[in-house]
Structure 1
């Protein structure tokens, strides 16, 4: 047992056991061919697009009037031609999402289908091609090989409102139950996606949205900031990477400065920031914010570290501060803290302890997976205080990205679903 910042983890390293072959198991080479070459497939009339990864993709739309338009920067629009074809636009409305059907979705032997929920910036393809070059096999292949009926969701907006994402998840679960006949679905959710999934099973909803339908058996949270995060305000040097605006999706991340001294002159950068009263391009990120400086002291080596975090004018920036940004995001995490997971849901939590994500300013102000502090990812008290059963909570020596595809993480997830 390992304790980090008061959070107890089971800290595990293990060799992967040899598992018996499953009737639908595919060899690694067969899966690589699935990734690199489009397999033959029959498209249903309501599944207009097919990528090289999936058996089929279905556009699902909730036509109720609960969704408001969401703004897209150019680098936030969908770029994959098949996804754009499926959505019929690179910037879809908030009530639309894509449901991806993995090979074997109608042949798996396990009783509970699995819905894979991605975090910010990614689409569902990350679950089959995590390195986005066909060289690594994702969690979806592992689950299919073990007899699971696997589905995944692509959200309309990469940083969308978490209330909207929660409704998208509710609609996806309903659809999966309909096509499989299953009573309940298991959800595996990464990072920001875990907060939206948690909101659904905690019945935290906006006006007009669906109440929790008791249709989730097990919620597996992977690298999810259960206490929120303050990464954007804690590391303001990142602002220089995101200004000026670029169309490359690599730079699709929010600023926390509303003014920046750039090229010797002051420029208004608020439209690219977390503040929702300007461009509001990152509504779901503003909802994740939570001040954590009392648990993890700030580094004074960051530019304008104090005024960035607490608000004010610094040498090279102006910031409203994290509390104002969280307030503009509706103090979402504070509200979620008071909404425990429904007692009918079983919960498993996986956190990472390696802050070594390539080409990223990794979180170094305390133990983390490079993005999320381990005590935030490993927090479970707010989830289980309503009676939900905690199945397991584990800290693995992996970074935030590796948690969705590394062999140890895959085995842990298989065990969590057993």
Structure 2
């Protein structure tokens, strides 16, 4: 067995930032659910725990609130022990100093003009994997270079773009960056309920980016845990940005390159799941169940990722030039890695087929936006077919189960991580919402 190539290791450390397939300490002001800014109280199972306002909130937001859903069924999900999945920056403050909060807690961000914008229907932005509402929607450059998918990151995003055009903009912040999409769908419903109560409206527009497509679509489709609430009929339009509507298989199709950003013995630190159970780095063969795509060794820290999986080998094949490509995708022991393969992960809980079967109600026009540029900096881009670097265009535009397709578009100059701030993408979203 030989050492992993150092050149590949250096640039692949950032790989999972594409799975978006991505402060200051402020004092909390505890408030009651019947806040003066609201026109009605939120549902009784929701508690407003804290509010952060002017002078304490960063990245252009006007306000951030923390809510807790007391419904039995929510739990604290698994986090990698080395802290790579913990809340960070101002989010730790917003979550009350807790870096590993229960998935029954969430943050609701409000943009300037949230209660005075000219547009009738408010907008809720839902971020993707290993990301935050701050970086995704308000400051794409918050995490530095490469975090936004380009060499130079802007300091404003879709939030400012929409707010400047009269939209009343909100965003949700999840407790777990790679969490269960069924629980996060319940949180999306909670956020919608709070916005409705605050503004006295009947419906909200949803914009889900990447993994955020899963929770928004699951909510309107009533795909939920056994203890969860069904769709409340309160979404006017659903917009998906680079969403894996048809699923994705990137981690398995490019597992060898993907793992260098994850496996600590190879220098990996990124918060993303591995398709392998064992890997050799610098001659050392090790196991890391804490980074597994499927439950392993009593740990399950990345449920939201396997829920997005679907096989694309029938349409686009598998990258036969990748090390251990066959065993990575189909399962078994390769020269340097071992794993159970993508089908085992799908069987362990993919939501693609259930979402297709449930269908998006005809009352919710759905708009699908794809990126067409596979040029995400710092990763091995998806090259087996037209893609945004992570998700195939044909997956992002897959309308299976969508009763009313409001529109489809591809931004040929945007990659997966640019879809939340690219000028053409923002203009398209604004047009659909308007």
C-alpha displacement of 1:391: 1.3
1:103 aligns with 2:112: yes
Q: State the match for 1:21 in structure 2.
A: none
Q: State the match for 1:48 in structure 2.
A: 51
Q: State the match for 1:69 in structure 2.
A: 76
Change (3 A) 1:104 1:383: same
C-alpha displacement of 1:275: 1.4
Q: State the match for 1:57 in structure 2.
A: 64
Helix, strand or coil at the partner of 2:346: helix
User: Which of these residues, 380, 387, 390, is aligned with residue 399 of structure 2?
Assistant: 380
Q: State the match for 1:156 in structure 2.
A: 175
Helix, strand or coil at the partner of 1:218: strand
Query: What is the TM-score of this pair, normalised by structure 2?
Result: 0.82
* Structure with larger RCO (C-alpha < 8 A, sep 6+): 2
1:355 aligns with 2:374: yes
User: Which of these residues, 374, 377, 384, is aligned with residue 365 of structure 1?
Assistant: 384
Q: State the match for 1:320 in structure 2.
A: 340
C-alpha displacement of 1:96: 0.6
Aligned counterparts of 2:367 and 2:390: Cα–Cα separation in 1: 20
Q: State the match for 1:391 in structure 2.
A: 406
2:372–2:386 contact (8 Å) kept in structure 1:
yes
- Higher mean C-alpha displacement, 48-57 vs 197-206: 48-57
1:257–1:270 contact (8 Å) kept in structure 2:
no
Aligned counterparts of 1:37 and 1:310: Cα–Cα separation in 2: 46
1:129–1:136 contact (8 Å) kept in structure 2:
yes
C-alpha displacement of 1:262: 2.3
Q: State the match for 2:166 in structure 1.
A: 147
Helix, strand or coil at the partner of 2:425: helix
RMSD: 2.2
1:126-176 Cα distance to aligned partner (Å, 9 max, x none): 211112268432111111111111100110000000001100100000000
Q: State the match for 2:310 in structure 1.
A: 290
Query: What is the TM-score of this pair, normalised by structure 1?
Result: 0.86
- Higher mean C-alpha displacement, 263-272 vs 209-218: 263-272
Q: State the match for 1:311 in structure 2.
A: 331
User: Which of these residues, 410, 419, 434, is aligned with residue 403 of structure 1?
Assistant: 419
2:266–2:282 contact (8 Å) kept in structure 1:
no
Aligned counterparts of 2:91 and 2:329: Cα–Cα separation in 1: 37
C-alpha displacement of 1:55: 1.1
1:243 aligns with 2:259: no
User: Which of these residues, 70, 86, 94, is aligned with residue 94 of structure 2?
Assistant: 86
1:202–1:342 contact (8 Å) kept in structure 2:
yes
Helix, strand or coil at the partner of 1:64: coil
Q: State the match for 1:130 in structure 2.
A: 140
Helix, strand or coil at the partner of 2:402: helix
1:276-299 Cα distance to aligned partner (Å, 9 max, x none): 233211010011111110011111
Change (3 A) 1:37 1:317: closer
C-alpha displacement of 1:44: 5.7
1:274-332 Cα distance to aligned partner (Å, 9 max, x none): 0123321101001111111001111111111001111111111111000111112x232
Aligned counterparts of 2:67 and 2:312: Cα–Cα separation in 1: 37
Unaligned runs of 5+ in 1: 1-35
2:79–2:86 contact (8 Å) kept in structure 1:
yes
1:118–1:191 contact (8 Å) kept in structure 2:
yes
Aligned counterparts of 1:265 and 1:131: Cα–Cα separation in 2: 36
User: Which of these residues, 236, 258, 261, is aligned with residue 217 of structure 1?
Assistant: 236
C-alpha displacement of 1:198: 0.3
C-alpha displacement of 1:97: 0.6
Q: How many residues align?
A: 375
C-alpha displacement of 1:247: 10
User: Which of these residues, 226, 233, 246, is aligned with residue 207 of structure 1?
Assistant: 226
Aligned counterparts of 2:326 and 2:239: Cα–Cα separation in 1: 36
